[in-house]
Every structure is written in C-alpha cells, then in structure tokens.
Structure 1
Amino acid sequence: MDITITNKQLTATINPKGAELNSLKSNTNTEYIWEGNAKYWGKHSPVLFPIVGTLKNNSYLYEGQVHALSRHGFARDNNFTVKNQTEDSVTFSLSSNDDTRRVYPFDFELELVYTIKDSTLFLDYVVTNKGDKPLPFSIGAHPAFALPGKFESYSLQFEQDEPLVSTQLTDDLLSDKTDILTAENGILPLTYKLFENDALIFKSLQSRAVTIKQDNKNILKVTYPNFPHLGIWTKENAPFLCIEPWQGYSDSPETKGNLIEKEGIILLNSGDKYTVGFSVKIYN
C-alpha cells in the first residue's frame, strides 16, 4: 500500500516497491510528478543503486569473479520496509538478502528518507556498510517531472552561468565525445532535439541547482548540493523531464570492468554510513 506524507502545502505519495515517489501535489492539487504512462516511460522516480547507468556487457569484475548487474541496479525493483513514519516524513529501508547477494556480494542497508518542509520535499539516501569489507557503490536519483502543455514553453535555469558540456552516450556507454549546449545567462530552452542522442550527461558542473521554468515563470527547483554529476532526460514527445542528480555514471567502452576501479564509485568502509540527498521546491 502506498504511503502518504503531507503538510499544509504539499502531499507526497510513495510506493514501497523501490520506495519510489509516485506523486507530489501542491495544495492546489497540481501534480508535479510524471504519471508513469508506459507509452513513454513507465516509472516515476526510481532510485539508482548500487550502480548508476550501464555497465559494459551489463557485468562487473570483483575479486576475480564476473557478476551480472543490469542498468541502474536492483534497488528500484525491490520492496522496501517502512522504518519510521510521521505525518510529514517517512523512512524506507532495504537490506541485503540472498537475492541481492547473487548479483552484488555485499552486505548493506539502503534507506530513503522523505521529508516535507513548507513547499519543499527532501529526499536523503543513507547507505550503511553492514559487511566486513569495503562497500563499492554508486547512487543516483531519477525523478520525472510532469510538463503539461507545449514542451518548448519550458526552460532550465542553471544556478551558475557556465559552459554546459554534455558527454554523449554510445550504446548506453559514455563516449569521449562531448556537446556544448547553448545557454544564455544560465537558461537552456528545452526542445526534444536536445535529447535525440539520449540523455544529457554533465560529468562536471558548478551549478548545484536547476529550476524548471515555463514562459519565464518558476515551476520547481531541484537542489543537489553534494551530487557531483547530473543527468537530464526525456523521450520524444513525452510530457515530462527527468532531472537526475548522480554519484557515478555509465561505464565507458574502454573500461576493464573492475568494480573497485569504476569511475564515480564510492568505497565505504565497514560500519560506515554515507548520506547524500536532494530537494524539490515547488512554486505555486
């Protein structure tokens, strides 16, 4: 059964499967999360763990053994338990089990902590190493925001006025080719043509916040203070946009496949916790 948290300004609904945010509504009943129509993309806001993006050959090497692991990992497909809940916050938990160890031989706990404060939803990811060896992982967000009306009426306002250098994907892997996007005063007009080669992937940005605007009016703001990478994605003619703060990204075609050496991987010592999060501020 879905879990709802609320205050006077926002209501969020989360599905325990994947601890996935399915709905975020303002007090005017405006929906800000993509409905998940499978015609375009059948998800809303999956968590990406223990990898972000695609592994070369959908596999990795660890201690001499090859392990298969599909795009974006397995957490989004697992059922989480509710650990704590109040009117305006809820904590979901997923712990390693026999199924996860078959593809990822590590002991961990992954918590997703949702909290509403005023007109902002906060989502914190907490990873705990429950094993006796370093835990290698990446983690990322994939929220899809509903964009009703004409897609070209929307734009993105980056926090900093900076060069927007996007790394291209080739067969779902990161190539060495880049595009420099045209933005004026940090504002990038949205067109479907931007995404004709899949997602925009920014391996390095100064901006730690992006605002969706429609006809120069602020709609919502995604702030990601401690995520070093960012993905932005939609599909042709789809009425949504994903703004994806990441720690990690897809392999390159040249990778040797060793998980410990993977770009963007975090090595968490036994018993330690790693916390990172982002927020979504709604403008009514």
Structure 2
Amino acid sequence: MNTTISNSTLSASIKHSGAELFSLKNKQNKEYIWEGNPDFWGKHSPVLFPIVGTLKNNTYTIDGEEYQLPRHGFARDMDFQLVKKTDNSAVFSLQSDVETLKKYPFEFELQLIYTLEEASLNIEYKVINKSKTKMPFSIGAHPAIALPENFENYALEFEKEEVLKYYILENDLISNKTEVLETTDNLVPLNYKLFENDALIFKSLESNSLTILENSKPYLKFDFKDFPSLGIWTKDQAPFLCIEPWLGYSDTAENSGDLFKKEGILALDANQTFTSKFSITLL
C-alpha cells in the first residue's frame, strides 16, 4: 500500500513497507526522488534503525548475550501502520514484536512523520522506548535524489566553509583513514571517482545544511541540524545521489561488540521519547 500527501506546491508518496518515501514531485510533476531501478539500487529512501551502517561481523552484544543485525537494521524491511493522515501529513508506526525481539531485545515504537510545508518536506523520526531499561539505538536517513542530467553537472554547497574531513570505509567498517573533500569556491563538484571507495562518511560537520546545485543553480536543499553525522553516496554511473543525515555510523574494526559502547550510539531511558527531524526543500 501507498499513501500520498500534497499541498499547493508539492506531493509526496510513501510506501507502507518501510514507511519509505518513493516520490517527491513539484506542481509541474517533476520527480526528485530516485526511481529505484534495481540495476543500480532498488531502494528510494529507507529508514536506518536500530543501527546505521554495518556491525563488525554483523554481531553485537547486550549484557554479554550475542545478537545479529543486518546492515542498517531491520525497520526498512518491515511494514508500518498508517496511524494518522491529513491532506499534507502522514504518520507511520512500527511496533516491536516477537521477531524484532529476537534481533533487538527492546520494546519500542518507531514513528515516521511526513509533513509538507510550502516547498519543503519535513521528515521526523520519533523513537519511543517501551522497555524497562535503557535502549541503545542509532537512526538515520538514506534518501536518493534523482539527478537527471550528467552527474558532473551537479555540485554540493555546504552551509559553512569548513574542512570536510571524511572517513574511508574498509569492508563496510569505518577505518582510521581519512580524506578531505576538496572544494572550489566553497563548492564540491560531483564526479563518480569521489565514491570509488563507497560512501563518504562525515562523523561531524559544522554545517547544518547543504544545497545540491544543477548547472550552478540551486536545485534542492537538505537541512539536518538534528543530525551530527552525514553520509554521501552513489554507485558508479548511477543517476542519483544519496544525502544521508545520521545519528550513528558503522562499527570500527576495533569495536568491542557491546552495543552500549558503540561509537556514535544513543541511549534512551525507559519510557522516554527521542525525536529528530530533517527537511528536503525544492529550490
């Protein structure tokens, strides 16, 4: 099943499977979300929960007991319930169940709240800990923006002038190797060579937003002040770019396996709620 919301400027469509955004169009019917062609990458905008990235050996421990989770967790592959809808907003909910408890021993509710506001789509994550103990988790976004022109016609403009240091992935884990993303007049021209070692992982940024430029003109803007980390990714020759606001990231090779000690992990007290939000604005 799918749900569509709209206002006078935009429309957005969300699959109930994964509560995944798969379409964001302006009134001229121009599509801004990647179509999901499986020849390149068969998803559009999955939610990453209860981990972001890859665990060492896909394994972690809680109180000495071992569990396994696939890359980016399980929420993106589960069916959400539509619990509230208006013309311009929709709220989706995922509740823990017998199957999730086998992989992740915590009772939770995860809500994705989509709201259209003028030329922006706001995407809010709400994590509710229904357990009687602290709950470790990460959460992140993975929206793929369709880039219909030649990839080299696009550039990124970060909100602030800063040293754009990113970490290199090795076997899907964060290595100690870093590079600096070169800028030209505060712009990062896009080319596929940037992604030959997979995603660019920024553990922390001063910028709270970035703009995608098409032929030097503003195309689309991400605002992600609630998210300290960011991933940027595409596949060779693919006509999309993923801008991924994260709270957390992959394990390092030195990780102990204890989820509470994982770098970048959050811990939510019993019966408490965590919220974070980012937005995509069409320019």
Instruction: Tell me by how many angstroms 1:270 deviates.
Output: 0.6
1:149 Cα offset (Å): 1.5
Code of the residue aligned with 1:205 in structure 2: it is L
> What is the deviation of 1:184?
2.6
Q: Which residue of 1 aligns with 2:13?
A: 13
Secondary structure at 2:211's aligned position in 1? strand
Aligned to 1:136: 136
Which secondary structure state, in structure 2, belongs to the residue aligned with residue 73 of structure 1? coil
* Equivalent in the alignment of 1:263: 263
Counterpart-to-counterpart distance in 2, 1:228 and 1:186: 20
- Confirm or deny: 8 A CA contact 1:136 1:260 kept in the other structure: yes
**Structure 2 match to 1:217:** 217
Which residue in 2 is equivalent to 1:93? 93
Say if 1:197 and 1:170 are closer, same or farther in 2 by CA, change over 3 A: same
Distance 2:149 2:188 in 1: 18
Distance (whole Å) between structure 2 residues aligned to residue 137 and residue 265 of structure 1: 6
In structure 2, the residue matched to 1:154 is: 154
Give the aligned residue type for 1:88. N
Q: CA-to-partner distance for each residue in 1:54-105, whole Å, 9 max, x for gaps?
A: 0000010111111010000000000000111000000000010001001000
1:266-281 alignment, distance < 5 Å: 266-281=266-281
**Are 1:198 and 2:198 counterparts?**
yes
CA distance in 1, matches of 2:273, 2:140: 16
Map of 1:1-284 to 2, 5 A cutoff? 1-283=1-283
Q: CA deviation at 1:215?
A: 1.1
Residues of 1 paired with 2:269 and 2:90: CA distance? 27
Counterpart of 2:177 in structure 1: which amino acid?
A: K
TM-aligned CA distance change 1:162 to 1:185, over 3 Å = farther
Secondary structure (helix, strand or coil) at the match of 1:205 reads: coil
Q: Percent identity?
A: 54
CA distance in 2, matches of 1:227, 1:280: 14
Q: Report deviation, 1:216.
A: 0.9
Shift of 1:185: 3.5
> 1:161 touches 1:185 (CA, 8 Å); kept in 2?
no
Residue 186 of structure 1 deviates from its aligned partner by: 2.5
Task: Give the superposed CA RMSD.
Answer: 0.5
Tell me if the contact between 1:159 and 1:186 (Cα under 8 Å) persists in the aligned partners. no
Task: List gaps (5 residues or longer) in structure 1.
Answer: none
Give, in whole Å, the separation in 1 of the partners of 2:250 and 2:126: 22
C-alpha offsets along residues 183-227 of structure 1, whole Å, 9 cap, x if unaligned? 133210000000000000101110110100011111100000110
Contact 1:52 1:246 in 2 (8 A): yes
Following the alignment from structure 1 to structure 2, what is the Cα–Cα distance between the partners of residues 8 and 181?
A: 38
Give 3-state SS (helix, strand or coil) of 2:72's partner.
coil
Distance (whole Å) between structure 2 residues aligned to residue 179 and residue 138 of structure 1: 24
- Cα distance between partner residues in 1 of 2:72 and 2:128: 19
1:277 Cα offset (Å): 1.0
